[in-house]
Amino acid sequence: MHIESVPFTTTDWSAVPETAHPGETGVAYWRTLEAGNIRVRMVRYSPGYKADHWCARGHVLLVLDGELTTELQDGSTHVLRQGMSYEVASDVAPHRSHTETGATLFIVD
């Protein structure tokens, strides 16, 4: 990832408006900051959330709370718990996530 045109910035995530994004089941709540060529998000998945699409975008994702299962289009699954992350480049491994218990994530893409 090459970050361009992003000045030094601090973010009070509680002041960033939250938007709702329904999944196949449950809801993802995003707080989003767009800066230069990156998008930074604090994402909260409701219990029972399941993504409604395969995502091919590259991400750096850190689980702050809860447990997340990420399925790759090749059929493999990866369980991430608090303090775990994944990193993937765009168009390398289409993925979708779900959670039974809910999860809070910090994502840069």
* pLDDT tens track for 98-107: 999 999 999 9
C-alpha–C-alpha distance, residues 50 and 84, integer Å: 19
Do 75 and 96 touch, CB atoms closer than 8 A? no
Whether 3 is covered by a domain: the verdict is no
- What token pair was written down for 104? 């809070």
Whether 39 is covered by a domain: the verdict is yes
* pLDDT tens track for 13-56: 999 999 999 999 999 999 999 999 999 999 999 999 999 999 99
- What token pair was written down for 50? 């399941």
Q: How many folded domains does the chain comprise?
A: 1
Predicted model pTM? 0.92
**DSSP secondary structure code for residue 14 in this structure:** G
Domain containing 63 equals 19-108
**CA distances in angstroms from 60 to 33, 85, 107, listed in the order given:** 15, 7, 6
pLDDT at 2: 82
CATH number of residue 49's parent domain? 2.60.120.10
